Amino acid sequence: MTRFSANLGFLWTDRPLPDAIRAAAAAGFDAVECHWPHDVPPRNVADALAETGLPMLGLNTRRGGPGENGLAALPGREAEARAEIDATLAYARAIGAGAVHVMAGVARGAGAEAAFRANLAHACDSAPDLTILIEPLNPRDAPGYFLSGSDQAAALIEALGRPNLKLMFDCYHLQIVDGDITRRLHDMAGLIGHVQIAAVPDRGPPDHGELDYRHVCAVLDDIGWTRPVGAEYRPPGLTEESLGWMARLGG
């Protein structure tokens, strides 16, 4: 049976993060994850997690300044990128999160590759107790983002050789960029650190669109995936009114 994590970057955004955690527990989610909780005191988040019994799977490094989408692949910004990585690792430990997604940013070329590799090595070596995630983003939603496909991510992971560096397999982004989700899940099973879902192409609830998530969940069973799958979609209205898919996919 597939279990699900509520991505609180998109779900229950009408309330403070601790209350969103409580709402996710009341709705029957098995875990939570978030984007940028950094401005919320970690004790408030940790208390809500302890109260509900939900694990926090992960969070992102900050995006940077206005118009930026991460810092880790930006040449010349290494000190700033590592400060953000270190702060996010500290926050993750304070709330008991298991993973940190290091955001690459808008960049291209050999200098960006070198900066990203060096910053990822810093993150992995600084946190052997945590999973470090990298996530390819599609160019429609994230124009110019350095990491744009699963093959590129796999090559980075294999080149760096850190056992705690893993792929965030976001089915929404990778269907747009790569397609062939079934084969990619099988081929990359050993590299995957987290899986996320949303409808394609509108990023709505995972109950419509060009991906059949009943099939995707069956594939995840086939490859032995047992951890919660992240529901990272944009509800068309109130989050509670968008949750009918959970019963259909979780059985």
Catalytically active residues are 135, 232
Structure tokens that stand for 82 in this block: 């590592």
Distances (CA, A) of 147 to 67, 69, 140, 169: 17, 11, 13, 12
Specify the 3-state DSSP secondary structure of 108.
coil
User: What is the rounded CA–CA span in Å between residue 234 and residue 119?
Assistant: 30
Which of 189, 85, 173 has the alpha carbon at shortest distance from 137? 173
**Cβ–Cβ under 8 Å, residues 223 and 189:** yes
User: What is the rounded CA–CA span in Å between residue 111 and residue 75?
Assistant: 6
User: What is the rounded CA–CA span in Å between residue 22 and residue 149?
Assistant: 34
User: What is the rounded CA–CA span in Å between residue 122 and residue 114?
Assistant: 12
User: What is the rounded CA–CA span in Å between residue 230 and residue 223?
Assistant: 17
